[in-house]
Structure 1
Amino acid sequence: MAGQTTIGDRIRGLRLSRHMSQAQLAGPDLSDSYVSLIESGKRTPTPVVMRLLAERLGCGVEFLLHGIEPHQRVDTALALRQAELELCHGDPAVAAGLFADTARAAGDDNAALAARARFGQARALEAQGETGQAVEAYELLRREAAAHPERLADLPLAVALCRCYYRAGDTLRARDLGMDALAQADRLGLDQGDLALELAAVLAEMEIALAYVERVLTASHLPDTVDRDSEVLGLWRAGKAAAAEEDSALAARLAADAVAAGRPARMAVRYVRSAMRWAWIATVRPEDAGLDRAGEFAASAVEILSRLSPGTIEHARALVVLSRVRLRSGDAEAAAEPAEQALGLLAGVRGTVPAMAYVVLAELALARSKDGGPALERAQELLADPVASVASFVDRDSARLWREIGDLWGRAGAPERQTNAYRSALETVGVGSRWREVVVPAIPAHLGVSHESRAG
């Protein structure tokens, strides 16, 4: 009975498959005209009538309500949970297949469940780096959500599309979606929870609506987050064992517990990304983001990552951001330690993060009337390397670092190296060599060269 999406459709379909007339289905308790109104969608049966019709049609009330029987509902819930676990803790490609299977199984008889599964499939495509396909899927779902808001909410789709368009380079479309999502969040008073943190993360990445990002970070009272991966894995394995024994209800419960166990860590990761980005912006645009609050956010990010991901590139990134905040705040002595600690974690790693650490150390050396040249040379090597994109934020941040390197070479009395660094800054954001001599002297201090400039 594919394509049947309402209670009336399902009642009519079952009645015809059983070769019953409306009068026969109505029996002595109902009128055939009332049955006709139900089938046409002009009347909604009461719970008592629903049970009566289900009994005469030989099906469950669950089927008339949702298009699936209770055991199918449990199996579908299990499939969704397993797909969610694969997406969060396993293989996004496997997750995409599971979500697609679930969407097909739900079909038109359960459009809301199918929409949830297709949303998961789009998220899995995004996680695999298939941004174009993810955008197509999100856009289709957003159009359907506008027509059928009972199936899927618009706000999560707007946030996801904003993130995808920004990372694909369409900053104008991303900004429009980001501001639309922000307007929705403001109307709802939404500044806590998964969705608020997800929105804050993408707004911080785009460097817009920083007041909202700050509000979300301030309102996010995260618990003492610890690594619970082993617990998640144990619950996941137990759920699979229960499913193998055909105990779908238990398997679904264990899978739900596994998803819930991993939620605090996922929220913490979103918090850390927003906090680091907000603090980083404060070091280059202190007029937009206060350094005192930036220090608090950067320190929180370091603390969380020291528990969740100690010794990783993300942990090192947070240490470098904290070092930069302290340096910009005038606390040179406190700035050195996290930068040196980060470099200890980044042995053999090339890219923006270790380059940031060396720029901090170079600035510290110059502030102490020492030679900052070796640190600046090392930073340039890391930024000029062909694989320097590893662990970087975006091209604009690399350009800003080149600008800072140029400023520091100027302070060190090396004008030729200063000019070369400024040229590298422009090349990083795609400004051609024929513009160099004209534009280099006029680079703004914060290097606010956008992706739109590159496109032009």
Structure 2
Amino acid sequence: MPSQGTIGDRVRGLRLNRRMSQAQLAGPDLSDSYVSLIESGKRTPTPVVARLLAERLGCTTEFLLHGIEPRQRIDTELGLRHAELELQHGDPAVAADRYSEIVKAADEENAMLTAQARFGRARALEAQGRLGQAVEAFERLRREAAAHPERLADLPITIALSRCYQRAGDRLRARDLASKALEQAERMSILQGELAVELACALVEAHGEQRGSSPELAYVKRVLDIAGLSDVMDRSGEVRALWKASSAAAAGEDSALAVRLADDAINAGRDCRVALQLARAAMRWARLEWTPTAEAERLASDAARTFASAGRDQERGEALIALSRVMLRAGEPERAGDLAGEALGLLGGGSVAAEAHLVRATVAVMREADPADHLTAARIVLEGTAGQPYGADRATAKCWRELGDLFGRTGDRSQQTAAYRKALEAAGVRSIMAGLTVDTAIAR
């Protein structure tokens, strides 16, 4: 059976296979000129007309509209859902492979499903830290969304691009894209749901160093105020049980049930995903130096509680560091030191662990005690971050600079100079986008 890429191609191919004229296909209900317009792609048949044409051409309406038979379509839908579950709850590398397989199988016979699979693959690349490839994929998708809005929504792509550019160190482009996404969200009054929370995270990352009011940060505040932070119920066991049941149903040729179970699995994990994203936005908001102390303390505490309820020790440690910074601002060094010590028991390493040592060193200086042990520990941790994933350089550079400031306060000029040199090295531009051509008119 012909399966050309457009509805018009399929109508014409089937008609010619059946040796029908346009007038014969039109019958008493349609005009032959209308059939001609459909075949040339100048008209899209309504659902009623599509059913009528499908009956006369001896095919299913599904095939006529989408180029694939119902079973093939439902199998593709199931593949998309299982790839999404792999991305959210499994291995992003496996998810990327599954999305790629769907793209190869679907090709252009169903442009919408193919576009969804390509978007999923781009997200899987981002989750693996392959930012150059992710940006390239997202940029292509954004161009396609501009040309074919019926296939792809531009807003989630723009948010993802802002997030990737921020991690890659291109803060100007990240800020421009986040602002573009905000314009779209405000036109549609999107203030709740997963997209709103993802946008809030992107905005506070890209615009967080602005002082004073701005539309971007006002949006973040509204999202946080409307949603509120809460504890998370761990439903990972339920997600995996439903995922396993969906796979079993698929193996038993019950594709419709498999899709339903996969949807249930995805939805079971949604509340946790949104709550964790909200906690991340709140934690970043609490870190802003101009956030009122009481508000920053509340948000950082709530974020730490959310991460604790989800069993996310690393992120709970990060929230405790954010809270310890707030306590330093509030003039409570004892509590700041205790929080930093608690965080060290949760953190595996990296710039956040270095921050914990820097907070404790700052507390020691405020108490007029010797901070040498804490400063040495911070330096050792930072030296161990060499070769870390892209996107962490800026945080590392800030820690090296703070370490240099603290060495300066203790009078150790040689260590101060060495730390500042390391800060400059960490902040240097790295060529992760080498070879990538970006259409700035689209990106911005």
TM-score (norm 1): 0.84
Contact 2:233–2:309 (CA<8 Å) still a contact in 1? yes
What amino acid is the match of 1:424?
Answer: A
**Which residue number corresponds to residue 164 of structure 1?**
164
Superimposed CA distance per residue, residues 2-56 of structure 1 (whole angstroms, 9 cap, x where no aligned partner): 54323x3322221112222223323454443343333334555454443332112
Please tell me whether Structure 1 or Structure 2 has the larger radius of gyration of its CA atoms.
1
> How far apart are the structure 1 equivalents of 2:206 and 2:46?
51
**Which residue number corresponds to residue 313 of structure 1?**
314
**Which residue number corresponds to residue 384 of structure 2?**
386
Work out whether 1:404 is the aligned partner of 2:406: no
**Which residue number corresponds to residue 427 of structure 1?**
422
**Which residue number corresponds to residue 254 of structure 2?**
247
Work out whether 1:56 is the aligned partner of 2:56: yes
Q: CA deviation at 1:232?
A: 0.7
**Which residue number corresponds to residue 284 of structure 2?**
277
**Which residue number corresponds to residue 436 of structure 2?**
none
> How far apart are the structure 1 equivalents of 2:161 and 2:125?
13
> How far apart are the structure 1 equivalents of 2:34 and 2:339?
75
> How far apart are the structure 2 equivalents of 1:389 and 1:316?
22
Contact 1:395–1:429 (CA<8 Å) still a contact in 2? no
Is the alpha carbon distance of 1:122 and 1:404 closer, same or farther for their aligned partners in structure 2, counting shifts above 3 Å? closer
> How far apart are the structure 2 equivalents of 1:421 and 1:389?
23
Superimposed CA distance per residue, residues 56-112 of structure 1 (whole angstroms, 9 cap, x where no aligned partner): 211122222333332223222111101111111112222122212222333323212
What amino acid is the match of 2:182?
Answer: L
**Which residue number corresponds to residue 6 of structure 2?**
5
**Which residue number corresponds to residue 304 of structure 1?**
306
Residue 219 of structure 1, aligned match among 208, 222, 226: 226
> How far apart are the structure 1 equivalents of 2:428 and 2:394?
7
> How far apart are the structure 1 equivalents of 2:295 and 2:339?
18
> How far apart are the structure 2 equivalents of 1:46 and 1:387?
59
> How far apart are the structure 1 equivalents of 2:53 and 2:424?
67
After TM superposition, list the pairs within 5 Å mapping 1:412-451 onto structure 2. 414-415=410-411, 417-418=412-413, 420-430=415-425
Deviates more, 1:146-155 or 1:329-338: 329-338
Q: How many residues align?
A: 423
After TM superposition, list the pairs within 5 Å mapping 1:48-447 onto structure 2. 48-208=48-208, 209-280=216-287, 282=288, 286-287=289-290, 289-310=291-312, 312-346=313-347, 349-383=348-382, 385-387=383-385, 394-411=392-409, 414-415=410-411, 417-418=412-413, 420-430=415-425
Is the alpha carbon distance of 1:98 and 1:28 closer, same or farther for their aligned partners in structure 2, counting shifts above 3 Å? same
**Which residue number corresponds to residue 444 of structure 1?**
none
Contact 1:62–1:68 (CA<8 Å) still a contact in 2? yes
> How far apart are the structure 2 equivalents of 1:217 and 1:130?
30
Q: What percentage of aligned pairs have identical amino acids?
A: 56
The 3-state SS of whatever aligns with 1:156 is helix
What amino acid is the match of 1:324?
Answer: R
Q: CA deviation at 1:257?
A: 0.7
Contact 2:204–2:217 (CA<8 Å) still a contact in 1? yes
> How far apart are the structure 1 equivalents of 2:47 and 2:391?
56
Deviates more, 1:259-268 or 1:47-56: 47-56
Deviates more, 1:392-401 or 1:174-183: 392-401
**Which residue number corresponds to residue 442 of structure 1?**
none
**Which residue number corresponds to residue 435 of structure 1?**
none
> How far apart are the structure 2 equivalents of 1:323 and 1:418?
27
Contact 1:158–1:178 (CA<8 Å) still a contact in 2? yes
> How far apart are the structure 1 equivalents of 2:20 and 2:404?
84
Q: CA deviation at 1:450?
A: 8.6
The 3-state SS of whatever aligns with 2:76 is helix
**Which residue number corresponds to residue 211 of structure 2?**
none
The 3-state SS of whatever aligns with 1:315 is helix
> How far apart are the structure 1 equivalents of 2:405 and 2:66?
65
TM-score (norm 2): 0.86
> How far apart are the structure 2 equivalents of 1:29 and 1:391?
63
The 3-state SS of whatever aligns with 1:270 is helix
Contact 1:399–1:426 (CA<8 Å) still a contact in 2? no
**Which residue number corresponds to residue 443 of structure 1?**
none
Q: CA deviation at 1:379?
A: 2.2
CA RMSD of aligned residues (A): 2.8
Contact 1:399–1:424 (CA<8 Å) still a contact in 2? no
Q: CA deviation at 1:400?
A: 3.0
> How far apart are the structure 1 equivalents of 2:252 and 2:234?
30
**Which residue number corresponds to residue 437 of structure 1?**
none
The 3-state SS of whatever aligns with 1:109 is coil
What amino acid is the match of 2:266?
Answer: V
Q: CA deviation at 1:135?
A: 1.7
Q: CA deviation at 1:391?
A: 9.8
Unmatched segments (≥5 aa) in structure 1: 432-448
Is the alpha carbon distance of 1:294 and 1:426 closer, same or farther for their aligned partners in structure 2, counting shifts above 3 Å? farther
What amino acid is the match of 2:233?
Answer: V
Contact 2:350–2:384 (CA<8 Å) still a contact in 1? no
Is the alpha carbon distance of 1:27 and 1:401 closer, same or farther for their aligned partners in structure 2, counting shifts above 3 Å? closer
> How far apart are the structure 2 equivalents of 1:45 and 1:305?
51
Greater relative CO (CA pairs within 8 A, separation 6+): 2
